[in-house]
Amino acid sequence: MAVLKLDRWNIAIGEGQPLVVIAGLNVLESEKLALDSAGHLKGVCAELGLPYIFKASFDKANRSSIASYRGPGLEEGLRILAKVKAEFEAPICTDLHTENQAEAVAEVADVVQIPAFLGRQTDLVVAAARATHRRGGWLHQKKSQNMAPWDAKHMVDKVREAIGGAQISVLCERGTTFGYNNLVVDMLGIEEMHKLGVPVTIDATHAVQLPGADPRTQGASTGGRREGVPIIAKAAIAAGADGVFLEFHPSPDDALCDGLSALPLAGARDLLATLKVLHEAVAPRRAA
């Protein structure tokens, strides 16, 4: 399996590497919240010796309702992310939704994320792959909710073909649609995606979503099972995931987007310490 590196940050992901933590906010709410959250998480990861990448979205374009909070938008959002990057010397992960955003996003984000709903949008994937590759970053590709793990091969192949055969893909498991308003995670899928020659992460936050099932809004927003996030994260790391994607908030019930799936920021250290131990226990077995 390929090991990918972010040379500027001395971070690598893949077999034999430390557990990579991609964590932060679901969506940018304010500059202060972004700085406070990044500082806390960077400190926790530094204490634990875990490579850290700050994540936050500047726009949540795939909302159930047109009235839902989406974020500050491209220009202001990238300004905040650039400030976080400079102040805490931390790489940035954020997602994009249209091909004309690719250059601006890749200029700030070291890890450009393709949302699960958009994983097969060829123009978007090609533009993001080319912009990211030129800057030495990673493309974090979320497996679609309706896709089998082995079918993610076509997502990876599309990127390689767009950039002359280079490998910059990290695949992300985030659950598969299971009937109505529910998702499940097949832990065997992590190894299936490893067979494609790429690192694999687990998005334990979005894996516990209940799409279109937030009782507070009569289905106009997404519900979630916050208590399931640590379960999914631990199971996936035990199954061999190379990195973990988590969303936190100082007060999840007050979050402006997907708060029911977010974890309290104060609990980050305990969970990440456990995930580190699990990853270190599993890594020698994988290498063998």
- Residue 104 backbone phi and psi in degrees, to 5: -65, -40
Catalytic annotation, pick one of 26, 42, 242, 276: 26
Q: Read off the tokens for 170.
A: 């990290």
> What's the CA gap between 149 and 142, in Å, rounded?
11
State yes or no: is 26 an active-site residue.
yes
Cα–Cα distances (Å) from 24 to 15, 42, 74, 206, 207, in that order, read 24, 10, 18, 13, 16
Strand partners, 27: 57
Are the CB atoms for 139 and 114 separated by under 8 Å? Answer: yes
Catalytic annotation, pick one of 95, 110, 214, 258: 258
DSSP code string of 10-74: TEEESTTSPPEEEEEEEE---HHHHHHHHHHHHHHHHHHT--EEEEEES-----SSTTS---S-H
Catalytic annotation, pick one of 55, 60, 143, 234: 60
Question: Which positions are annotated as active-site residues?
Answer: 26, 60, 258
